[in-house]
């Protein structure tokens, strides 16, 4: 429990309210007259949706970012992605750093709980990670400028470099090109820079912390082991799957040799995990590719990162647990350590609740929206997964949603970013205290 | 471990092999020349697929049951449904009863383990349940004959009554009308008889046993509580959902008033759980209705019944567990009893493994099959769910599958009927003995 102005808030409630406050401020800023280009109009719903999509680093849009918003509006979107990407608690630390004030003790505890840190002294590591984050984005801007500068002239080139470095590192998914990165699909330099930025941003704090301290500690946490191994496994598997399923992708035909096709397949494997920047229109993806991409978006990235979805550690732990159960073993293990049992419960509950949320969302949207002629249910499901995974790859359904549809997608982006447990705990008002009695135990038949 | 002719088999392996043996015998019988009508040809793959579909009480077909198979062939299909529906161990008890021999002790133990019974004396209850099953099917035949007799003449009428009573009670899904029950959609008498037969067959042994002993014991097991409450909840929810999503179903327009529409909605809610008999072509179902039906097929029915899918108790227990976790409580409880923790683990692992199996199946089929023009991925997913849930409602994809596609669907029907745990345990060769050491524990970040 955290006390602010004599009101006591649980941490999940505070985090949920914090995100809502950021979205509200973003909405107001986007509604300012000089945020919208002359000749365009911004309704409250469009501002709210855009602010939610940016804060939840998703990238689904109702209007074209480049032609609808002024540079001021785009700057608001970039800042919202930065706050949403690093997490707003981290942002509090960052602000303190920038204005060189000592962190208040209450803020320290908030940061600590928000980032699952063991003690206050570790906040030193957080400041290091924040500095590193900003450095990477600065470096990203410079490296992108090497291409965008000559291509667009220095003013526009610098602005594009800055915006897309943030969008890539924070896995925000917004772009100023109208067709994401499709213009650059045969440019290996840009694709590599973007890939590195995306991967760097999707590691999450705990992994960064472990990697930074590895030289000193010579030991990685079980979390980092699991996150890196699951991530690498999914990555390799995804490249192979896309090389097979998209061998006939019409948009690439005649444009590239096998080398560029491999680079694009790697990019295809990276981006649905949470980034959402794409090198071609996903409406051309094969049926197998679509279903696999939905799966990747559902899984999402590393917890504590900018990613949505149910997270790689969840899927990794569940796989280890399932194999252990099916082999008749008691414990799921990795790197000579076993997982805490309540972690497994948390992972399994998360999967189940995520499935219910997605099923309900699909059902509501299928019943209330005017569906596309082509593949109505598939396209709808894809958009739901893109919102829940805060991936933001769109097949064009989002732009045509009615009010209820927009609200559902916004709720999915919010849950995807803030986290099922955080949102559910604030709704259910979880009481950690147990009833003083336990009922007698009895088994049932399962499966 | 069970010893047969000096070979030792684990129970899951024996059950898996038993089902495979029944399928093999069925295939050979269907390949006999007098099983196929003159002018038709039956290939090995068609016989194997039909035998698998009948034994796994699914009802997906490559050829029309009425016009392709002779009455002998249809009888084989009916018997396979009976064996598959009651379970082949139960069938051993039944055979012993019929030829009035005492059960061998080894068979008794098999039956006991197969039906999760506590002690050998309870096998008395099993014989009672088997007699009841046969009585219900006999009664079903008589009640159906009251309509089919006058409609088709006594010979054909009796045959149709017999075949469809078995198909309904065993939730087999095969029919001799070519369009399932579409001819009878405005006949409340037949729809009610079919509904009662389907529900009676989908209860499962433990529930029947509890209901039969309730007068004496004045107590229901936790299993029966959970199965009945989950079943009833899903049932009521499903009727409401279908009344909303199918209010504009074109096949019903002008044919029926609100009363018949309600009866059909109830039938629609009952049949995807595992029966697969339908009163209209599901290609006309709305997008929301399709997605909801897929969900119902994935869930399936009660364990120990003729149902496939992940089972109602699994979904019921997971819901109780998720609510408990989200409210910060330790135990999921129902009817003043708490569930064994390993039940929850089993349920969660089952859900996860089922999802992986289905995702892999969809991916393989999407990549290797010629997909339908209309809604390719949705139709494919529907067919996968219909196979896994042993429901057998088809959108026409199955008939057009190539060899690999048929093998995938057959594997899904088999896993759906025999059970994920049974199949997986026989593949993984689970060793109940634990390693003598445990690694140190460590937590990870989930969600
Ligand atoms: K994104
Ligand atoms: K069936």
Q: Which residue has the higher pLDDT, A29 or A280?
A: A29
β-pair partners for B338: A441, B333
Lookup: tokens for B86: 């009651």
**Quick one: which ligand is closest to B309's CA?**
2
- ipTM of the prediction: 0.81
pLDDT score of A1: 47
C-alpha pair distances (Å), A259 with each of A77, A321, B73: 35, 38, 56
Measure the CA–CA gap between B287 and B285, rounded to whole angstroms.
7
Provide, as residue numbers in chain A, all residues whose Cβ is less than 8 Å from the Cβ of B313.
444-446
- Asked if A53 and A85 count as a contact pair (C-beta separation under 8 A), the reply is no
**Quick one: which ligand is closest to A386's CA?**
1
pLDDT above 60 for A96? no
- Asked if B444 and A339 count as a contact pair (C-beta separation under 8 A), the reply is yes
> pLDDT digit string (tens) for B232-283?
899 899 999 988 887 777 666 666 777 788 888 888 888 887 787 887 778 8
Which residues neighbour B153 within 8 Å (Cβ) at sequence distance 6 or greater?
Answer: none
CA of B198 to the centre of ligand 2 (A): 10
In this prediction, residues A189-203 reach a mean pLDDT of 86
pLDDT score of B301: 82
pLDDT score of B271: 84
Q: Is the dihedral of CA A382, A387, A391, A395 positive or negative?
A: positive
- Asked if B82 and B170 count as a contact pair (C-beta separation under 8 A), the reply is yes
- Average model confidence (pLDDT) for chain B? 79
Asked if B345 lies within 8 A of A359 by C-beta distance, the reply is no
Which three-class secondary structure state does DSSP give residue B425? helix
Provide, as residue numbers in chain A, all residues whose Cβ is less than 8 Å from the Cβ of B318.
352
Quickly state the pLDDT bin for A48 (edges 50, 70, 90): very high
Q: In chain B, what percentage of residues exceed pLDDT 70?
A: 79
DSSP states of A391-433: -----S-GGG--HHHHHHHHHHHHHHHH-HHHHHHHHHT---P
> pLDDT digit string (tens) for B21-73?
889 999 999 998 888 888 888 888 899 999 999 988 888 888 888 888 988 99
> pLDDT digit string (tens) for B96-147?
555 545 555 555 555 555 555 555 555 666 777 778 888 899 999 999 998 8
Looking from the CA of A182 toward its CB, the CA atoms found within 13 Å total 12
- Chain A residue whose CA is closest to B426: A326
Map out the domains of chain A as residue ranges. Answer: 2-428
CA of A271 to the centre of ligand 1 (A): 8
Provide, as residue numbers in chain A, all residues whose Cβ is less than 8 Å from the Cβ of B435.
329
Asked if B377 lies within 8 A of A337 by C-beta distance, the reply is no
> pLDDT digit string (tens) for B145-195?
988 888 888 888 889 899 999 998 888 888 888 888 877 877 888 888 888
pLDDT score of A361: 92
Which residues neighbour B21 within 8 Å (Cβ) at sequence distance 6 or greater?
Answer: none
pLDDT above 50 for A184? yes
pLDDT score of A138: 92
Residue tagged 């928000």 (tokens): A114
Measure the CA–CA gap between B149 and B318, rounded to whole angstroms.
46
Measure the CA–CA gap between B442 and A339, rounded to whole angstroms.
5
Helix axes A11-31, A403-418, angle to 10 degrees: 130
Query: Which among B336, B339, B377 has the least Cβ separation from residue A444?
Result: B339
pLDDT above 80 for B421? no
pLDDT above 90 for B209? no
- Asked if A305 and A201 count as a contact pair (C-beta separation under 8 A), the reply is yes
Quickly state the pLDDT bin for A64 (edges 50, 70, 90): confident
Query: Which among B241, B339, B363 has the least Cβ separation from residue A288?
Result: B363
DSSP states of A229-285: HHHHHHHHHHHHHHHHHTTT-GGGTTT--HHHHHHHHHHHHHGGGTT---SS-GGGS
- Chain A residue whose CA is closest to B335: A439
Asked if B325 lies within 8 A of A349 by C-beta distance, the reply is yes
pLDDT score of B215: 66
Alpha helices in A56-153 (DSSP H): 65-68, 71-86, 88-98, 105-114, 123-152
CA of B275 to the centre of ligand 2 (A): 4
Helix axes A11-31, A420-428, angle to 10 degrees: 110
Highest mean pLDDT among A58-72, A114-128, A367-381: A58-72
Asked if B288 lies within 8 A of A363 by C-beta distance, the reply is yes
> pLDDT digit string (tens) for B321-367?
888 877 777 777 777 777 777 777 778 888 888 899 999 999 998 88
Provide, as residue numbers in chain B, all residues whose Cβ is less than 8 Å from the Cβ of A359.
291, 295
CA of A241 to the centre of ligand 1 (A): 22
Provide, as residue numbers in chain A, all residues whose Cβ is less than 8 Å from the Cβ of B307.
none
Measure the CA–CA gap between B427 and A367, rounded to whole angstroms.
42
Asked if B223 lies within 8 A of A348 by C-beta distance, the reply is no
In this prediction, residues A357-385 reach a mean pLDDT of 86
CA of B190 to the centre of ligand 2 (A): 18
CA of B388 to the centre of ligand 2 (A): 10
Quickly state the pLDDT bin for A26 (edges 50, 70, 90): very high
pLDDT score of B1: 47
Interface test with chain B among A249, A426, A435, A445, by most B beta carbons within 10 Å = A445
pLDDT above 60 for B396? yes
pLDDT above 80 for A428? no
Asked if A322 lies within 8 A of B353 by C-beta distance, the reply is yes
Helix (H) or strand (E) holding A388, with range, is helix A376-388
In this prediction, residues A169-192 reach a mean pLDDT of 84
Listed residue (A7, A4, A17, A5) closest to A426, CA to CA: A17
DSSP states of B174-215: --SSSSTTGGGTT-HHHHHHHHHHHHHHTS-HHHHHHHHHHH
φ, ψ for residue B185, nearest 5 deg: -65, -20
In this prediction, residues B407-411 reach a mean pLDDT of 91
- Average model confidence (pLDDT) for chain A? 79
3-state secondary structure A16-45: HHHHHHHHHHHHHHHHCHHHECCCCCCCHH
Burial A213-228 (b: 16+ CB within 10 A, else e): beeeeeebbbbbbbbb
CA of A172 to the centre of ligand 1 (A): 4
């Amino acid at each position: 429990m955290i006390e602010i102005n004599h009101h006591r808030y649980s941490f999940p409630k505070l985090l949920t309210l914090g995100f809502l406050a950021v979205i509200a401020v973003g909405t107001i800023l986007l509604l300012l007259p000089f945020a919208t280009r002359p000749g365009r109009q911004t309704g409250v719903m469009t501002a709210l949706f855009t602010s939610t999509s940016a804060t939840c680093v998703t990238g689904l849009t109702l209007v074209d970012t480049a032609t609808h918003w002024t540079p001021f509006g785009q700057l608001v979107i970039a800042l919202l992605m930065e706050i949403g990407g690093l997490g707003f608690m981290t942002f509090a630390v960052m602000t303190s750093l920038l204005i060189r004030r000592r962190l208040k003790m209450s803020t320290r505890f908030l940061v600590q709980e928000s980032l699952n840190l063991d003690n206050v002294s570790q906040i030193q590591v957080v400041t290091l990670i924040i500095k590193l984050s900003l450095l990477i984005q600065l470096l990203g801007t410079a490296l992108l400028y090497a291409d965008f500068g000559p291509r667009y002239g220095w003013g526009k080139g610098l602005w594009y470099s800055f915006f897309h470095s943030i969008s890539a590192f924070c896995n925000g998914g917004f772009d100023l090109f109208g067709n994401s990165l499709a213009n650059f699909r045969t440019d290996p330099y840009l694709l590599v820079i973007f890939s590195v930025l995306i991967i760097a941003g999707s590691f999450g704090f705990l992994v960064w912390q472990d990697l930074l301290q590895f030289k000193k500690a010579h030991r990685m946490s079980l979390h980092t082991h699991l996150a890196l191994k699951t991530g690498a496994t999914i990555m390799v598997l995804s490249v192979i799957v896309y090389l097979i399923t998209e061998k006939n992708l019409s948009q690439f035909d005649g444009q590239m040799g096998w080398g560029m096709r491999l680079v694009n397949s790697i990019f295809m494997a990276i981006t649905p995990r949470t980034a959402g920047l794409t090198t071609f229109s996903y409406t051309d993806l094969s049926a197998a590719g679509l279903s696999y991409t939905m799966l990747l978006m559902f899984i999402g990235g590393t917890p504590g990162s900018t990613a949505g979805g149910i997270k790689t550690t969840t899927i990794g732990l569940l796989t280890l647990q399932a194999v252990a159960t099916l082999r008749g073993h008691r414990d799921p293990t990795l790197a000579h350590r076993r997982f805490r049992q309540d972690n497994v419960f948390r992972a399994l509950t998360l999967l189940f609740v995520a499935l219910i949320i997605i099923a309900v969302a699909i059902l509501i949207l299928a019943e209330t929206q005017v569906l596309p002629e082509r593949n109505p249910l598939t396209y709808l499901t894809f958009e739901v997964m893109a919102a829940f995974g805060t991936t933001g790859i769109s097949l064009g359904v989002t732009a045509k949603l009615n009010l209820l549809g927009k609200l559902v997608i916004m709720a999915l982006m919010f849950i995807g970013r803030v986290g099922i447990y955080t949102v559910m705990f604030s709704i259910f008002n979880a009481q950690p205290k147990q009833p003083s009695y336990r009922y007698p135990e009895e088994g049932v038949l399962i499966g």
